[in-house]
Structure 1
Amino acid sequence: MTGRFGITIPLDGLPLSEQAAVAAELAKAGYTDFWSAEGNGTDGFSPLAIASVAAPGVRLGTAIIPVFTRGPGVMALSAATMAASAPGRFVLGIGTSSDVIVERWNDISFEQPLQRTRDMARFLRKALRGERVDEEFETFKVRGFRNGIVPEVAPPILIAALRPGMLRLAGKEADGAVINWLSADDVLKIAPYVHAGGPDKEIVARIFVAPTTDAAKIREAARRHIAAYLNVPVYRKFHEWLGRTELQPMWDAWDAGDRKGALTAIPDSVVDALVIHGSPEECREHLARYVSNGVTTPVISLWPTEMGPLEAARALAPRD
């Protein structure tokens, strides 16, 4: 592979107090990008702030910050602060997240997700340029807001997308898309929707990677994650749209309350398509397929193996 090669930070299993040193080492190993996420671990901005100082040449991105869990003004403040701290190196990825995170964990209504994402992207374009925003959008209104910090370089905005509506939105309203939980071949179906919005669109893919030859152990762990994620409505609809009919027995068992049956119904072929595993070289070859099919920035999300997280990151680092 050539070009960008990213990794998700912070590395799981290592204290946050050690992440600055980790970031410096990963930069030396050849990673061009560090991307954070925001679920039930760290927030999306703090790990990037740590890395921005420790690895001054690396690009930093959020994949993603939910558009429901921060108000527009707070979102703009956080993004502007990060962009001003790392001029020209920050990419803001936003998205709906899921009804689980938004409604169950944060007690916020998960309504009109596409419209909310569109409105947030439009608001942020103005706010991050330092404009005064006094506008009523479809899903929220902002009265007389102006960012006190205007970044030297306004960050690109990416939108997390799964199905056609959001993919088109990412191409039309943003600088590209953030995608996840998909196979290398699935990228061929997704990329045209994003590129229909114009040239030079970025497609960032968060990809689960486990550098280990213990396939049985990884498949067992991966089945639990696949069952947990792909029964969340937004992800189930995504894979139904992709045509992944081989997951129907899992969905049927899950709907019937048979959790054990749901796990055993997930075929190896689906696990192997969605979670990369094998030797480090085999993993890099599989990642290269994502790039060949249209991903501009692959971002590995390390899966726990017999290797420690830093050792695994070193093993997967890009090769010339």
Structure 2
Amino acid sequence: MTAFDVHLPVAAQSGIDPIVAYGRRAESCGYDRVWLPETWGRDAASVLTVLAERTDSIGLGSSILPVYSRSPALIGQTAATLQEISNGRFRLGVGPSGPAVIEGWHGVEFERPLRRTRETVEIVKRVLSGESVEYQGEIFQLSGFRLRGEPPVSAPPVDVAAMGPKAVELAGRFADGWHAIVFTPDGIRERLEDFHRGTELGDRDPSGVRTTLSLTCCALEDRERARRLARQHVAFYVGGMGTYYRDSLARQGYEEEATEIAAAWGSGERERALGTIDDAMLDDLCAAGTPEEARKALDRFARVDGLDVISVGFPRGAEREEIEATIDALAP
């Protein structure tokens, strides 16, 4: 049975209190977990700490902490600390992000993302074990690092965000779960084959790993507003966030549309970019419309065999009351 989480807004919020309010609302509505992204606003660890203090039972997770902006040892320390603060409710999500973020915002060369992600996961798991970390990788070499204090009684699982076939295979082979974003139902099914191949290569028990899809949702009585917000969100990611999302859509049968969106967005023709996303494409990527329409679309994704969790996300342009309405309308 598919579980339902909430992917907290990626857009700037007026303060930490609204973010916490979304988390508390998700908890009261019966969602399993809230995930917090780390982009260019507040750092995720600090906000997750506040969420841990102001919620009681809902799971907490980072989706995602980029593997280039922190060292693997620091990511491990952060995960151990958040697991302690939350009384065992934390789940770590990491991923490479992309060149636009890592090189443009952090000034770090975006090189060998697959290898860096793999080594980060391996090191983080060793840090969380509480043992002394002796690691000789192709990118990282560590000796003597050990948590100062008791390790978590139950180590938080470590998930990897991925879109391409090899990256998804890596998640299945080395991590405890895979986070997917900007996928169609058929696209998820195809990548699940890569994920399961990874679990086989890693000699993993498939029942011990989880697949989570972050799905852009907007459930409003104002149908046109909901769908326009979702279109704007898709266009921004495809046109404004580098080539990863464009390449992923191309693999899912939307190469022509993705290329057109990126070209229009890059030339400042935002309305043309939005117009490229027809109703069929929008419904293949989002759950947007009236509450009844959004719920029906959500159920379509939930029926994908092998998808364990759907994380209800929101368009970047959604106002606070629109986010709250969507949380309520799509509650488990």
Give, as a single letter, the amino acid of the residue that structure 2 aligns with 1:55: T
CA 286–116 in structure 1, closer or farther in 2 if over 3 Å, else same:
same
2:308 aligns with 296
Residues 206-221 of structure 1: matches in 2 within 5 Å?
A: 206-221=214-229
Residues 29-48 of structure 1: matches in 2 within 5 Å?
A: 29-48=29-48
User: SS of the residue aligned with 1:162?
Assistant: coil
Give, as a single letter, the amino acid of the residue that structure 2 aligns with 1:240: A
2:245 aligns with 235
2:111 aligns with 111
CA 153–187 in structure 1, closer or farther in 2 if over 3 Å, else same:
same
Cα shift at 1:220: 3.7
Q: How far, CA to CA, are the matches of 2:127 and 2:320 in structure 1?
A: 46
2:290 aligns with 279
Cα shift at 1:91: 1.0
CA 183–215 in structure 1, closer or farther in 2 if over 3 Å, else same:
farther
Q: How far, CA to CA, are the matches of 1:212 and 1:25 in structure 2?
A: 17
CA 306–160 in structure 1, closer or farther in 2 if over 3 Å, else same:
closer
Runs ≥4 in structure 1, deviation > 6 angstroms?
none
- The alignment yields a C-alpha RMSD, in angstroms, of 2.5
Q: Is 2:127 aligned against 1:127?
A: yes
2:167 aligns with 166
Cα shift at 1:11: 8.7
Count of aligned pairs = 317
2:85 aligns with 85
Q: How far, CA to CA, are the matches of 1:224 and 1:315 in structure 2?
A: 21
Cα shift at 1:233: 1.3
CA 8–249 in structure 1, closer or farther in 2 if over 3 Å, else same:
closer
Deviations 1:225-282 (A, max 9, x none): 3333224211122122222234155157349846344443333322222221122233
CA 277–191 in structure 1, closer or farther in 2 if over 3 Å, else same:
same
Q: TM-score if structure 2 supplies the norm length? A: 0.86
Q: How far, CA to CA, are the matches of 2:68 and 2:148 in structure 1?
A: 22
The answer to which of 101-110 and 235-244 deviates more is 235-244
Q: How far, CA to CA, are the matches of 1:248 and 1:60 in structure 2?
A: 33
User: SS of the residue aligned with 2:38?
Assistant: coil
Cα shift at 1:14: 5.7
Could you tell me which runs of 5 or more consecutive residues in structure 1 were left unpaired when the two chains were aligned: none
2:196 aligns with 195
1:314 aligns with 328
Give, as a single letter, the amino acid of the residue that structure 1 aligns with 2:296: E
The answer to which of 130-139 and 247-256 deviates more is 247-256
CA 56–220 in structure 1, closer or farther in 2 if over 3 Å, else same:
closer
Deviations 1:257-308 (A, max 9, x none): 4634444333332222222112223322322222221321111112316944
Conserved? CA contact 2:3–2:310, under 8 Å: yes
Q: How far, CA to CA, are the matches of 2:25 and 2:63 in structure 1?
A: 22
Give, as a single letter, the amino acid of the residue that structure 2 aligns with 1:236: R
Cα shift at 1:115: 0.4
CA 263–315 in structure 1, closer or farther in 2 if over 3 Å, else same:
closer
Conserved? CA contact 1:95–1:159, under 8 Å: yes
Deviations 1:39-78 (A, max 9, x none): 1233222332222233222111111110001012221111
User: SS of the residue aligned with 1:208?
Assistant: strand
Conserved? CA contact 1:213–1:277, under 8 Å: no
The answer to which of 113-122 and 31-40 deviates more is 31-40
Q: How far, CA to CA, are the matches of 2:173 and 2:327 in structure 1?
A: 34
Q: How far, CA to CA, are the matches of 2:2 and 2:235 in structure 1?
A: 33
2:50 aligns with 50
Q: How far, CA to CA, are the matches of 1:241 and 1:15 in structure 2?
A: 38
CA 233–296 in structure 1, closer or farther in 2 if over 3 Å, else same:
same
Conserved? CA contact 1:205–1:297, under 8 Å: yes
Q: How far, CA to CA, are the matches of 1:17 and 1:307 in structure 2?
A: 14
Give, as a single letter, the amino acid of the residue that structure 2 aligns with 1:108: V
Conserved? CA contact 1:250–1:266, under 8 Å: no
Q: How far, CA to CA, are the matches of 2:176 and 2:73 in structure 1?
A: 21
Deviations 1:191-243 (A, max 9, x none): 12212314122011111111125444344444443333224211122122222
Residues 145-184 of structure 1: matches in 2 within 5 Å?
A: 145-149=145-149, 150-184=151-185
Identity %: 29
Residues 3-82 of structure 1: matches in 2 within 5 Å?
A: 3-9=2-8, 13=13, 15-82=15-82
Q: TM-score if structure 1 supplies the norm length? A: 0.89
Conserved? CA contact 2:73–2:123, under 8 Å: no
Q: How far, CA to CA, are the matches of 1:181 and 1:245 in structure 2?
A: 14
Q: How far, CA to CA, are the matches of 1:46 and 1:36 in structure 2?
A: 11
User: SS of the residue aligned with 1:185?
Assistant: helix
Give, as a single letter, the amino acid of the residue that structure 1 aligns with 2:161: A
User: SS of the residue aligned with 2:217?
Assistant: strand
